[in-house]
Amino acid sequence: MNTMIQTKNLTKRYKDFIAVDDLSLHVQEGSIYGFLGPNGAGKSTTMKMLLGLTKPSTGSFVINGKMFPEERVAILKEIGSLIEAPAFYGNLTGRENLDIIRHILELPQSAVDEALEIVGLSEFGNRLAKKYSLGMKQRLGLASALIGKPPILILDEPTNGLDPAGMHEMRNLVKSLPQMYNCTVLISSHLLSEIELIADDIGILNHGVMLYEGSLHDLRQTAIQKGYEANNLEDMFLSMIEQDNAARKKRAVI
Amino acid sequence: MKALSIEMKKCKRSGVFPIMFAVGIFGALYVIANFAVRKDTLLALPLAPMDVLLTQLYGVIALISLFGIITATCLMYQIEHSDNAMKRMYMLPIRITDIFSSKLLILVMLLLISFTIQYSALGFVGNLYLPENSFELWTLIRYGLYTFVMSLPVLLFMIFISSRISNIWITLGVGIIGFFSGMATATSDIVVFLINPFTLIMYPAMSNNATVKFSALIIAVVEIVVFLVVGYIFTKKARYE
């Protein structure tokens, strides 16, 4: 299996604050990679770097064999993304918003209807995007990520703003994507309980540092070895974060 | 061309097109109404008829155009800044500099259309009211092109400010301060004030003859090049943080 996304010692510094510290992550082709961490762990910053929204302080990354920033346009042609709050033109309808993206990606006209259909927005396609509810805006964001069936999807907390039914629907959709479109998904969340239902591999980030990277199966084994219940990884995840925070506090005192 | 057609689509319901057309139509209506009402007073001025036609009406035309430029440039990037639309563009395989240049091209074309409407009205009024054989089409076209070029620095300056500042009220504030600074310095003889693009657009209105002032025109051309280069460099370097 090829590595679709690979970062090498990726670091992002803001003055004296390190948001992402020496991060090396590996996302395998055709897999769903759950990127976990508490709020402010550096998940969004990492994803922003992968999309060229923010410049890495040091380190590098390769996406589908292409180097950034030399092959920025080629990389972005292959990525569908949803980062933080959905981004759209409020003066345009949902359909017109997707049509702009379709035009940029040089996709056929049918791609717009297809994307609206996937996220369940077909009947609201002609409504102005600024009049959408939060959940509908999130769906529009996901539709703009899915349009044209890109081989790589980067989704930053895509269930934000969705009701429980919408969250369930979104999870099922994300889970089916590798089989449906043969795509690779990098998805972030601060809830392991959410990610463990869909991910093949996971990376746990805290204060910009990768605490664990590997398969969900291996994490379960580790959990059992450490005395946690294998069917409740959330406890182990929280304990890992707490231990790391405690170690940091100790280092800071010394 | 692809970037230009995308930017045209984005302008839908943004208000940019109606504003720039309104600039042309209001300017034209002002010209026609003013000359129809005040033709005797205006033609009694100790000036050549073509100078009366062009210089006595350009002041208000410049004001209307300036308001249109400030508003349209604010709205042009407001659609990108509100709801983080620009963020989406940064994540797509499109050059951000193409967005800047396409928006600029659309605004320049719209300004040209509004000038054409206004100067068509001047041509109509000139043909109708000026004494026989005193209307000169070439003088009208030359003055129109001169004032159009003098208006471009302020358009470039405002689109650059609008592209950099996400808060529309700050951009609008810069435009209003610029407007007052232009009003305050347009009558001055100090050439340095012409560096201010808001003064440049008003400058032709302060003269009583419709000849092209080449020194001011050169300043305008230099400013156009400077704002173009600065805008391009800043857009190229910018990232969505």
Domains identified in chain A and CATH numbers: 3-78+150-253 (3.40.50.300)
Residues of chain A with Cβ-Cβ distance to B94 below 8 Å are: 73, 104
Cβ–Cβ contact B236 with A under 8 A? no
- Once rounded to an integer, what is the mean pLDDT over residues A95-123? 94
d(CA A53, nearest CA chain B) in Å: 5
Does residue A5 contact residue A184 with C-beta atoms inside 8 Å? yes
H or E element in which residue B185 lies: helix B168-185
Residue of A nearest to B78 (CA): A89
Does residue A80 contact residue A148 with C-beta atoms inside 8 Å? yes
Does residue B174 contact residue B161 with C-beta atoms inside 8 Å? yes
pLDDT of residue B240: 63
Is A248's pLDDT higher than 90? no
pLDDT of residue A231: 67
Only one residue has tokens 């209807």, namely: A113
d(CA B86, nearest CA chain A) in Å: 8
Residues of chain B with Cβ-Cβ distance to A85 below 8 Å are: 84
d(CA A23, nearest CA chain B) in Å: 19
Q: Could B83 and A130 be called an inter-chain contact, meaning their C-beta atoms sit closer than 8 Å?
A: yes
- Once rounded to an integer, what is the mean pLDDT over residues A228-233? 68
Q: Could B90 and A103 be called an inter-chain contact, meaning their C-beta atoms sit closer than 8 Å?
A: no
Sequence-ordered list of residues with C-beta below 8 angstroms from that of A117, at least 6 positions apart, any chain: none
pLDDT of residue B114: 97
Is the four-CA dihedral A37, A40, A44, A47 of positive or negative sign? negative
pLDDT of residue A229: 67
Q: Could A51 and B10 be called an inter-chain contact, meaning their C-beta atoms sit closer than 8 Å?
A: no
Strand intervals (E) in A53-170: 58-63, 66-67, 79-82, 152-156
Cβ–Cβ contact B63 with A under 8 A? no
Q: Could A53 and B94 be called an inter-chain contact, meaning their C-beta atoms sit closer than 8 Å?
A: no
What ipTM goes with this model?
Answer: 0.87
Nearest Cβ partner of B87 from A53, A76, A99? Answer: A53
Is A236's pLDDT higher than 80? no
Report the relative pairing of strands A201-206 and A32-36 from DSSP bridges.
parallel
Kindly report which listed range (A226-235, B159-168, B179-188) carries the lowest average pLDDT score.
A226-235
Nearest Cβ partner of A76 from B9, B82, B91? Answer: B91
Distance CA A156, CA B241 (A): 15
Residues of chain A with Cβ-Cβ distance to B91 below 8 Å are: 51-53, 76, 79, 81, 83, 87
User: Residue A51 — very low, low, confident or very high, per pLDDT cuts 50/70/90?
Assistant: very high
Is A254's pLDDT higher than 80? no
| Closest CA relative to residue A154, chosen from A12, A11, A7, A20 | A7
Interface with A, mutate which of B17, B83, B166 (most A CBs under 10 A)? B83
- Once rounded to an integer, what is the mean pLDDT over residues A58-77? 90
B164-189 residue pLDDT tens:
999 999 999 999 999 999 999 988 88
Percentage above 70 pLDDT, chain A: 97
Is A251's pLDDT higher than 70? yes
Residues of chain B with Cβ-Cβ distance to A129 below 8 Å are: 83
Is the four-CA dihedral A150, A156, A159, A160 of positive or negative sign? negative
Residues of chain A with Cβ-Cβ distance to B95 below 8 Å are: 73
Distance CA B92, CA A88 (A): 13
Does residue A158 contact residue A188 with C-beta atoms inside 8 Å? no
Is A1's pLDDT higher than 70? no
- The top-scoring range by mean pLDDT among A160-164, A172-176, A229-233, B66-70 is B66-70
- The pTM assigned to this predicted structure is 0.89
Residues of chain A with Cβ-Cβ distance to B240 below 8 Å are: 53-54
C-alpha radius of gyration, chain A, whole number = 19
User: Residue A8 — very low, low, confident or very high, per pLDDT cuts 50/70/90?
Assistant: very high
Cβ–Cβ contact B158 with A under 8 A? no
- Once rounded to an integer, what is the mean pLDDT over residues A172-184? 86
